[in-house]
Amino acid sequence: MTPVITAFESSPDRGRGLARDMRVRWALEEVGAAYEVRLVSFRAMKEAAHKAIHPFGQIPTYEEGDLALFETGAIVLHIAERHAGLLPDDANARARTIMWMFAAVNTIEPPIVEWSAAWLMERDKPWYEERLPMLQARIDARIGDLSRRLGEAEWLDGAFSAADVMMVTVLRRAENSGLLERYPNLVAYIARGEARPAYRRAFADQYAVFADGQAAG
């Protein structure tokens, strides 16, 4: 059964691959699984049909036969559990990989999303300039510790895994923060992820949605 994922019909990131369908596409490409994409508008995301799959009216979702999933951490873990290549065989290494997946979405992503949401929705507000250094400091504290833990390692825990799919895509969202540049090992880590053929295929596919939308006017 070919899985179907959902993605923005018109992503606000204009094809930069920052929306969260990118990590699901990347995971599917890494394991060589075919998939289909159903594009949804912002309006359709809030309608009952989509909310029956995603109670919060968001993308991405993942449908495969009678299984319907939301939450990218759960979707990527499901893909990694069903296919070889994204989770180590050793039980302890597998547990650590899942730990890092949680760290990506639960520890690193929240301050990045808070900063990004403030820029999107509050940058014209009088308090924004005062609040910004605090938001940046919260990101910096997390990515600084991540940088020290990663050190000179290629990936988070041994071989490339689902944890790196999650962490690289989470970090990419901070690319415009001006903070990542302080940590050359994180910049190199992101670049290693982006250089993977599976990443490039996933990126090209999501970019085509934007390009087709532009061509259609």
Interacting residues toward ligand GTB by CB under 6 A: 12-13, 18-20, 45, 57-59, 71-72
- Between CA 117 and CA 157 the distance in angstroms is 30
Taking Cα atoms as reference points, which of 103, 95, 101 lies closest to residue 77? 101
Closest residue (Cβ) to ligand GTB? 58
Comparison of 116 and 161: residue with beta carbon closer to ligand GTB: 116
Give min distance, CB of 42 to ligand GTB, in A: 6
Give min distance, CB of 130 to ligand GTB, in A: 24
Rg (CA), the chain: 17
Give min distance, CB of 186 to ligand GTB, in A: 19
Give min distance, CB of 173 to ligand GTB, in A: 6
Q: Which structure tokens are listed for 198? A: 């599976």
| 3-state SS assignment for residue 5 | strand
Comparison of 18 and 187: residue with beta carbon closer to ligand GTB: 18
Comparison of 59 and 79: residue with beta carbon closer to ligand GTB: 59
Do 17 and 209 contact (CB within 8 A), yes or no? no
| 3-state SS assignment for residue 201 | helix
Comparison of 5 and 146: residue with beta carbon closer to ligand GTB: 5
Give min distance, CB of 13 to ligand GTB, in A: 3
Per DSSP bridges, beta strands 61-64 and 36-40 are unpaired
Backbone angles phi, psi at 46, to 5 degrees: -100, 0
Comparison of 12 and 184: residue with beta carbon closer to ligand GTB: 12
Instruction: Give CA separation, 76 vs 21, 114, 140, 144, 180, in Å.
Output: 10, 23, 26, 25, 25
